[in-house]
């Protein structure tokens, strides 16, 4: 097993993504745990969830210090609906995803990641605001639509083994019309609840990571993520929204490339 110093070093850039954009970074952490640390897939998923939870909590805490969370208040109903849908997927969606996770579905997800990534890059460079305005204005219908969107994102995130921020942020930007910085903070809040519920599910299934993996890899990687999250959140306060969109788009393209190689 590789040392804690290397684990901490790998945690820093992933935590930076969390603080800067609002991602848990699982898409990039999983290949590291598989290839660099030689862990089995069944061990990686719950351990990745533990590290993701540390990263997400640290990122939201640091963003609350550098960016005000008050812009989230008008969108609390939409955020709650997306969270509820994600919870449904996290708690009961694993079996369904296992039946659906064939080659074509995985390819469709890769196409989605690439499409969203390119759209964000173009929008960030050109400066146009794309809005897919199909959300109902009626309160009940809007909430039900949000729950459905959250469930779909949760299913895809479960298939990819990540927290779902890669899809939550574009959804909040393009469908709900949030600024990318506000969307990043909302994504962190939603992902914390979803990942915590996934860990509860792993506990009930007796699949929590072993203590030596948590102490030897999870804790130092989480510590590195905290340091990276602090740096990312500080930069997020000054980075232009257009630059963050371009960077997020590039991250989505990289996530698609990493997923294609897994």
Instruction: Give the tens place of pLDDT for each residue, 52-107.
Output: 999 999 999 999 999 889 999 999 999 999 999 988 887 765 555 445 545 665 67
Q: Which range of residues forms the domain containing residue 231?
A: 4-261
Sign of the CA dihedral running 231, 83, 119, 131:
negative
**Cα torsion for 163, 168, 169, 175, to the nearest 10°?**
180
pLDDT at 149: 92
B/e letters for 21-60, b = 16+ CB within 10 Å, e = fewer, are: bbbbbbbbbbebbbeebebeeebbbbbbbbbbbbbbbbbb
Report CA-CA distances (Å) from 24 to 6, 104, 139, 234.
19, 26, 30, 17
B/e letters for 112-123, b = 16+ CB within 10 Å, e = fewer, are: bbbebbebbbeb
Domain count along the chain: 1
pLDDT at 80: 95
Q: Which of 41, 47, 37 is nearest to 9 (CA)?
A: 37
Half-sphere exposure of 12 (CA within 13 A, CB side): 7
The DSSP 8-state label assigned to residue 162 in this structure reads S
pLDDT at 128: 65
The answer to whether residues 28 and 69 touch, using CB atoms and an 8 Å cutoff, is no
H or E element that contains 176: none
Q: Average of pLDDT values for 36-63?
A: 88
- At 16, the pLDDT band (50, 70, 90 cuts) reads very high
- Residue 249 backbone phi and psi in degrees, to 5: -60, -40
Report CA-CA distances (Å) from 193 to 43, 101, 196, 231.
21, 24, 5, 23
This prediction has a pTM of 0.85
Distance CA 231, CA 217 (A): 21
Does residue 153 surpass a pLDDT of 90?
no
Lowest average pLDDT, out of 49-58, 111-120, 175-184, goes to 111-120
């Amino acid at each position: 097993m590789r040392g804690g110093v290397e684990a901490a070093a790998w945690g820093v850039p992933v935590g930076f993504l969390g603080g800067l954009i609002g991602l848990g970074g699982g898409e990039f952490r999983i290949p590291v745990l598989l290839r660099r640390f030689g862990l089995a897939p069944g061990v990686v998923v719950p351990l990745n969830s533990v590290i993701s939870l540390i990263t997400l909590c640290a990122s939201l805490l640091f963003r609350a210090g550098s960016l005000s969370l008050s812009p989230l208040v008008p969108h609390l109903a939409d955020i709650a609906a997306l969270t509820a849908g994600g919870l449904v997927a996290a708690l009961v969606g694993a079996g369904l995803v296992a039946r659906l996770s064939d080659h074509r579905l995985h390819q469709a997800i890769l196409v989605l990641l690439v499409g969203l990534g390119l759209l964000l890059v173009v929008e960030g460079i050109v400066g146009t605001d794309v809005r897919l305005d199909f959300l109902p204005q009626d309160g009940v219908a809007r909430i039900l639509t949000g729950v459905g969107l959250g469930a779909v994102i949760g299913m895809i995130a479960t298939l990819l083994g990540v927290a779902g921020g890669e899809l939550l942020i574009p959804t909040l930007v393009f469908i709900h019309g949030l600024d990318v910085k506000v969307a990043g903070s909302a994504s962190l809040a939603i992902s914390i609840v979803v990942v915590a519920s996934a860990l509860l599910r792993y506990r009930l299934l007796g699949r929590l990571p072993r203590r030596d993996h948590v102490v030897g890899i999870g804790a130092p990687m989480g510590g590195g993520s905290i340091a990276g999250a602090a740096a990312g959140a500080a930069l997020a306060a000054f980075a232009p929204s257009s630059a963050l969109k371009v960077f997020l788009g590039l991250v989505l393209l990289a996530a698609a490339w990493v997923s294609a190689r897994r």
